[in-house]
Amino acid sequence: MKKIIVPVDFSEHSNYALESAAILAKKYDAEIIALHMLEISETILTKGETDLQDETVFFLKLAEKRFTEFLAQDYLEGIKVTPVVKHFKVFSEVNEVAKEQNADLIVMGSHGSSGLKEIFVGSNTEKVVRYSDIPVFVVKNKPTNLSFDNVVFASDFSESTVTPYLNASELFKKLGSNLHLIYINTPGDNFNSTSEMEKIVVNFLQKADGNLDKLSEVKYVSDYTVEKGVINYANVSGADAIAVATHGRTGFAHFLAGSISEDIANHASLPVVTFRIK
């Protein structure tokens, strides 16, 4: 891991993301690209060329000043941090910066949700995940002992999740992580017998890895919902993070059924890393 992008809006959760990125950067000797989106309003854009130039320069200077203050954190000491200010109005363009910088990971802060309030929906975090070609690490709390030693990768083992699985395997191998594969079996239409589950997993591993070396390591968990099964297993197994696959065209989309990826990212107390289904 060489470069980590952290979109910064100067909020508390943005600070959590930056601190998390700092922990990873120190551990893996990576550079942090601190990215601020200068969302220039339509009012400014419709002004005359001279006025537009002057006002744009003003906002750029203001952003640079806030950056200097925001990046004056003790936890960034000894880390190469490159502040980048862009004129972007939409967070989909974070992916363009990731391509330009050849980044390995995006770290974003987000509130998560409580009760009926799903804050992820329509949020900037969701928008970044929707368009990102590289993994997005979603942080909701101040990091204490951030680690990726044990990561749970939940999948329905369908063909569409082969690429996210391979990308997750590659990333977490670089991080020295143990990747634990789990299949959640739920009552109702999605219920499968033991032999049916094993057949699905066998086909998946043969296609993804070309062998069945990991077959005996796959865990089969029964629970009332996939979300509960993933979160419960991650908690009792002592996992450090949860990895899920997402559809780029719809953000935190249905990697199994319903809005499961979104629910897991919203409700899990553990950090969540998303991998795009292409």
CATH of the domain at 223: 3.40.50.620
% of the chain at pLDDT higher than 70: 79
Q: What is the pLDDT of residue 129?
A: 78
pLDDT of 61 > 90? The answer is no
User: What's the token pair of residue 159?
Assistant: 């063909």
- Asked if residue 109 and residue 2 are part of one domain, the reply reads yes
Give helix 124-131 / helix 94-101 axis angle, nearest 10°: 50
- Asked if residue 255 and residue 165 are part of one domain, the reply reads yes
109-149 tens-digit pLDDT: 887 654 434 434 446 777 787 778 899 998 888 887 788 89
Q: Strand 272-277 and strand 136-139: pairing?
A: antiparallel
Q: Of the residues 142, 160, 180, which one is the last residue of a structural domain?
A: 142
- Asked if residue 220 and residue 159 are part of one domain, the reply reads yes
In whole angstroms, give the CA distance from residue 152 to residue 31.
Answer: 26
- Asked if residue 92 and residue 159 are part of one domain, the reply reads no
User: What's the token pair of residue 40?
Assistant: 């220039």
Mean pLDDT for all residues in the chain: 82
Q: How far is CA 119 from CA 110, 114, 277, in A?
A: 8, 8, 23
One DSSP character per residue, 23-70 reads HHHHHHT-EEEEEEE----HHHHTS-HHHHHHHHHHHHHHHHHHHHHH
What total number of domains does the chain contain? Answer: 2
214-263 tens-digit pLDDT: 999 999 999 998 889 999 999 999 999 999 887 654 434 334 333 577 67
Residues spanned by the domain of 202: 147-278
- Asked if residue 47 and residue 13 are part of one domain, the reply reads yes
- Tell me the pTM: 0.81
- Asked if residue 251 and residue 155 are part of one domain, the reply reads yes
- Asked if residue 239 and residue 261 are part of one domain, the reply reads yes
